[in-house]
């Protein structure tokens, strides 16, 4: 039994392969778009994973610390540490800002981590180079996406930090790479204004007769000192002791400490359902449109390919070929085209497209499988139109005009 | 012969399709979540580490003298500028005496008047004494009456009382004068010790309240650094340890040592406080309030199993490391000991010298992760 489809492809294999390549690029873009969507969601989850927390304790009635601003006193953790079911607690601060290094600056999320040892909540869970922070001040661990190298001197506000370690996939929900610095420096960073602003603030305070009272020497200095200190952090990260239910511990902190507490699933809901909801929907919509367009293009290609062979099909009919054979010919060609397209698409999406995107592109194997099934189904559906056209051909056309 | 072109075409198709297929298989298995995680490993070493403590502080003067008036007043003159070295007892300036000089002159006049009154009283007393004696003799000669003698004795007593009053009045006035002179002296601003003028808060003509400082003096020999160490990283902090000081304005480190560790820690910032003195004061003198980074070296510890701190991870609530045993990953809980500032940590329990542990990994590991041993993780593209 000779494969009619194979023979036909052999007949014009160059054209066939190039059509497949073109289709592949289109499928590649669609797969990349799915990857971008997955990447966005994964960025949000990576942020939660990397913080190493089971519970996030934030300012009452806020969606902090990622989706909204939140500040709690930096000694709140002591009270929370004493709650039953709490294994470890750590203060943490987050501030998205431009971090300067030499002439360039990189948009990154500066995270302040509490002094301690590796494994403390909030610390980078793994490194790709260098070491973890050991000094209580002026050291940084940066995500490699920042482009910083070990030993680089970073400038955050007016202080300089030495990069001692590099890590990977530590990003904010917006995809900005994270720079970890010691908490005390980070608290200062959040609060510290530039020197001009500080001078102006001092001048303003000095000009206020309520604070600048000659009868009370030292009052002005005390007020100014008070204005330039920051005893707040953005959240307290809590790890729940084994054998305790996170929701129960959260409930007791909510009840007795009168703070808002989020569990992992609630935090995911906030990040994915609220923070990146619109942009994720935007990308998802793009994905849907692109899939429809790809499907339409596949259908058109198969259809035109078939119409291009209408004369040969008429000859086949004339020599008495069964309809099933002709249908098989078209469908097999269509599926072969789809497979070539998918293979090329997967390769280009992984090797060419994903690395050049500035944000993380996550190509999930399951997505690829779904993509493959979708491509095959679309090809089969598209070939049905072509088959209908082919079967309606009048055998007389083979000899006519 | 007829089949040959087809053979050639089949070959061409194979040339195109086979590499494509190979690439596809490679891509599917070597990238994305299915790909093995590149990791680097290190062996647990037996070595000695020298822990160190790191803190930051500000330069402060141990002795600060705030010189100002004890009464409200106006500055008349101020002869020193910031940076001047002054001697003990040197007059730095003076407050406006207002009416003190005039009051001293008035007391001078009052004193003279009191002295005149005193000599008058003395003269009266001498005369009264003479009279009393004469009449006593006269009475013994029966030349006068007892009544007259009693009158003369009375006069003498009155004169003596007046003399005593005049003497006390003179004393009072001279004491008051001395008080005014002391007050006048008190208006001078005097350096208590040899020192350096660090701050000049007011200029002549300024009115000040009592106790407000006009100038601040510091003893330049007594500069020290008030250093703060995070309590969690302050184990082993004690007096007399050598310290390395880096001032923010000078890149070069200078040597010093811990003078004392404060008994009172900072309860709010969770820091320990210590005072660090310079072995040799830097020239020029560091500014008061300058930021300084202080590294305190602790004695080296005996050799023990040591791992890099990058290897330490927390898994299921336990602190440990990923151990590579026969190419498989296994999470081993460890108990950590002391650490140094270069990222080396002692392992008290859980690992043996020579064990292989994962140091760097391109993503978080689980016990099901496939690993790929490489030399450098951060070169691997994402």
Q: Which of A181, A279, A351, A284 is nearest to B381 (CA)?
A: A351
pLDDT confidence tier of residue A193, bands split at 50, 70 and 90: confident
CB atoms B340 and A49 under 8 Å: no
- In whole angstroms, give the CA distance from residue B136 to residue B264: 84
- In whole angstroms, give the CA distance from residue B94 to residue B78: 7
Question: Quick check: is A319 in a domain?
Answer: yes
Residues 84-143 (A) with a CB less than 8 A from some CB of B: 87, 115-119, 125-132, 134-138
* CB-CB neighbors (< 8 A) of A81 in chain B: none
The β-bridge relationship of strands A178-182 and A104-113 is parallel
Token couple for A213: 């009272």
Condensed to tens digits (0 to 9), the pLDDT of residues A37-65 reads 888 888 888 889 888 899 999 999 998 79
Minimum CA–CA partner of A359 in chain B:
B382
Do residues A354 and A376 both lie within one domain? yes
Question: Quick check: is A90 in a domain?
Answer: yes
Q: Is pLDDT of A1 > 60?
A: no
Do residues A103 and A179 both lie within one domain? yes
Question: Quick check: is A263 in a domain?
Answer: no
Whole-number pLDDT of residue B200? 92
Q: Is pLDDT of A112 > 90?
A: yes
Do residues A387 and A329 both lie within one domain? yes
Condensed to tens digits (0 to 9), the pLDDT of residues A298-344 reads 788 888 888 888 888 888 888 888 888 888 888 888 888 888 889 88
Whole-number pLDDT of residue B33? 67
B353, B303 in Cβ contact below 8 A? no
Q: Is the dihedral of CA A122, A125, A130, A133 positive or negative?
A: positive
Whole-number pLDDT of residue B1? 42
Do residues A212 and A168 both lie within one domain? no
Question: Quick check: is A268 in a domain?
Answer: no
pLDDT confidence tier of residue A373, bands split at 50, 70 and 90: very high
Cβ contacts below 8 Å, chain A against chain B, sum to 145
Report DSSP letters for B219-233, one per residue. -GGGEEEEEEEEGGG
Do residues A250 and A314 both lie within one domain? no
Do residues A220 and A135 both lie within one domain? no
Question: Quick check: is A267 in a domain?
Answer: no
Question: Quick check: is A234 in a domain?
Answer: yes
Whole-number pLDDT of residue B382? 42
Minimum CA–CA partner of A356 in chain B:
B382
Q: Is A227 helix (H, G, I), strand (E, B) or coil?
A: helix
For chain A, the domain total comes to 3
B213 CA to chain A: closest CA distance, Å? 9
CB atoms A128 and B24 under 8 Å: no
Question: Quick check: is A53 in a domain?
Answer: no
A398 DSSP 8-state letter = G
Q: Which of B184, B187, B198, B185 is nearest to B65 (CA)?
A: B198
Q: Is A241 on the interface with B (CB under 8 A)?
A: yes
Mean pLDDT, chain A, integer: 87
Q: What are phi and psi of B264, to 5 degrees?
A: -90, 120
Residues 164-183 (A) with a CB less than 8 A from some CB of B: 164-166, 168-169
Whole-number pLDDT of residue B381? 44
Phi-psi region of B5 (alpha: psi -120 to 50; beta: other; left: phi over 0): alpha
Do residues A302 and A330 both lie within one domain? yes
Comparing CB atoms, the residue among B6, B209, B339 nearest residue A214 is B209
CB atoms B209 and A360 under 8 Å: no
Rounded to 10 degrees, the C-alpha dihedral B349/B351/B352/B357 comes to -160
CB atoms B314 and A52 under 8 Å: yes
Residues 196-225 (A) with a CB less than 8 A from some CB of B: 214-215, 217
Question: Quick check: is A382 in a domain?
Answer: yes
Q: Is A305 on the interface with B (CB under 8 A)?
A: no
As a whole number, mean pLDDT of residues A74-97 equals: 91
Whole-number pLDDT of residue A192? 75
Do residues A20 and A163 both lie within one domain? no
Residue B272: burial class (beta carbons within 10 Å; 0-12, 13-18, 19+):
buried
Mean pLDDT, chain B, integer: 88
Spans in chain B with pLDDT lower than 70 = 1-6, 9, 31-33, 379-382
Neighbouring CB atoms inside 10 A of A92's CB total 24
Condensed to tens digits (0 to 9), the pLDDT of residues A242-275 reads 889 999 999 999 999 899 999 999 999 998 888 8
Rounded to 10 degrees, the C-alpha dihedral A185/A191/A197/A201 comes to -120
Q: Give the domain range for residue A131.
A: 60-192+229-258
Whole-number pLDDT of residue A329? 83
Whole-number pLDDT of residue B5? 53
Q: Is A347 on the interface with B (CB under 8 A)?
A: yes
Whole-number pLDDT of residue B379? 62
As a whole number, mean pLDDT of residues A279-297 equals: 87
Whole-number pLDDT of residue B75? 93
pLDDT more than 90, % of chain A: 28
Whole-number pLDDT of residue A400? 62
Whole-number pLDDT of residue A295? 82
Do residues A245 and A221 both lie within one domain? no
Whole-number pLDDT of residue B32? 64
Q: Give the C-alpha distances (Å, rounded to integers) separating B93 from A49, B244, B304.
A: 67, 41, 65
Q: Is B233 on the interface with A (CB under 8 A)?
A: yes
Do residues A26 and A65 both lie within one domain? no
Do residues A154 and A286 both lie within one domain? no
Do residues A21 and A85 both lie within one domain? no
Neighbouring CB atoms inside 10 A of A308's CB total 11
A290, A30 in Cβ contact below 8 A? yes
């Amino acid at each position: 039994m000779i494969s009619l489809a194979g023979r036909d492809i052999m007949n014009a294999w160059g054209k066939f392969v190039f059509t497949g390549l073109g289709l592949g690029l289109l499928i590649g873009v669609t797969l990349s778009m799915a990857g971008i969507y997955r990447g966005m969601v994964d960025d949000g989850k990576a942020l939660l994973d990397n913080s190493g927390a089971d519970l996030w304790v934030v300012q009452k009635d806020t969606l902090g610390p990622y989706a909204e601003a939140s500040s709690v006193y930096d000694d709140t953790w002591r009270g929370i540490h004493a709650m039953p079911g709490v294994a470890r607690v750590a203060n943490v601060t987050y501030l998205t800002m431009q971090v300067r290094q030499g002439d360039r600056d990189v948009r990154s999320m500066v995270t302040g981590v509490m002094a301690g040892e590796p494994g403390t909540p909030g610390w980078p869970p793994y490194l790709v180079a260098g070491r973890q922070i050991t000094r209580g001040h002026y050291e940084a661990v940066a995500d490699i996406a920042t482009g910083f190298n070990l030993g680089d001197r970073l400038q955050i506000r007016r202080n300089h930090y030495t990069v001692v370690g590099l890590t990977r996939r530590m990003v904010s929900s917006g995809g900005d790479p994270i720079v970890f610095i010691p908490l005390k420096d980070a608290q200062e960073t959040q609060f510290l204004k530039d020197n001009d602003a500080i001078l102006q603030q001092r001048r303003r305070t000095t000009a206020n007769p309520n604070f600048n009272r000659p009868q009370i020497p030292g009052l002005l200095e005390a007020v100014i000192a008070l204005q330039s200190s920051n005893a707040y952090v953005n959240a307290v990260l809590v790890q729940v002791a084994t054998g305790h239910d996170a929701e129960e511990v959260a409930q007791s902190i909510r009840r007795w400490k009168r703070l808002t507490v989020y569990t992992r699933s609630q935090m995911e809901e906030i990040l994915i359902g609220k923070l990146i909801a619109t942009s994720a929907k935007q990308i998802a919509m793009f994905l849907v449109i692109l899939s429809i367009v790809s499907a339409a293009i596949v259908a058109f290609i198969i259809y035109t390919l078939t119409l291009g062979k209408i004369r040969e099909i008429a000859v086949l009919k004339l020599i008495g070929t069964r309809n099933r054979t002709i249908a098989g010919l078209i469908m097999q060609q269509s599926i072969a085209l789809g497979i070539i397209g998918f293979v090329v698409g997967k390769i280009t999406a992984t090797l060419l497209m994903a690395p050049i995107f500035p944000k993380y592109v996550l190509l999930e194997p399951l997505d690829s499988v779904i993509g493959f099934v979708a491509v095959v189904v679309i090809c089969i559906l598209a070939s049905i139109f072509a088959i209908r056209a082919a079967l309606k051909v009048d055998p007389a056309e083979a000899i006519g005009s | 012969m007829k089949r040959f072109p087809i053979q050639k075409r089949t070959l061409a198709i194979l040339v195109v399709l086979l590499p494509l297929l190979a690439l596809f298989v490679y891509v599917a298995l070597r990238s994305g979540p299915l790909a093995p995680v590149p990791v680097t490993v290190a062996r647990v070493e037996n070595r000695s580490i020298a822990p160190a403590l790191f803190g930051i502080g500000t330069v402060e003067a141990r002795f600060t003298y705030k010189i100002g008036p004890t009464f409200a007043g106006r500055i008349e003159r101020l002869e020193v500028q910031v940076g001047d070295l002054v001697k003990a007892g040197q007059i730095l300036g003076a407050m406006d005496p207002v009416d003190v000089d005039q009051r001293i002159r008035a007391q001078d006049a009052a004193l003279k008047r009191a002295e005149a009154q005193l000599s008058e009283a003395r003269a009266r007393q001498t005369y009264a004494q003479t009279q009393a004696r004469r009449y006593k003799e006269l009475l013994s000669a029966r030349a006068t009456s007892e009544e007259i003698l009693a009158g003369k004795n009375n006069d003498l007593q009155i004169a003596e009382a007046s003399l005593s009053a005049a003497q006390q009045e003179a004393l009072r006035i001279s004491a008051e004068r001395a008080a005014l002179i002391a007050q006048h002296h008190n208006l001078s601003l005097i350096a208590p010790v040899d020192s350096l003028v660090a701050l000049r808060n007011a200029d002549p003509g300024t009115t000040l309240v009592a106790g407000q400082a006009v100038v601040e003096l510091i003893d330049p020999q007594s500069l020290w650094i008030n250093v703060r160490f995070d309590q969690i990283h302050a184990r082993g902090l004690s007096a007399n340890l050598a310290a390395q000081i880096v001032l923010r304005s000078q890149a070069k480190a200078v040597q010093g040592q811990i003078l004392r560790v404060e008994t009172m820690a900072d309860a709010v910032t969770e820091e320990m406080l210590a005072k660090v003195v310079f072995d040799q004061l830097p020239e020029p003198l560091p500014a008061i309030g300058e930021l300084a980074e202080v590294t305190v070296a602790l004695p080296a510890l005996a050799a023990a199993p040591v791992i890099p701190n990058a290897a330490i991870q927390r898994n299921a609530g336990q602190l440990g490391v990923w151990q590579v045993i026969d190419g498989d990953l296994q999470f081993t809980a460890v108990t950590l000991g002391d650490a140094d500032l270069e990222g080396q940590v002692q392992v008290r329990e859980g690992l043996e010298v020579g064990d292989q542990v994962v140091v760097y990994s391109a993503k978080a590991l689980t016990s099901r992760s496939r690993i790929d041993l490489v030399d450098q993780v951060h070169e691997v593209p994402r």
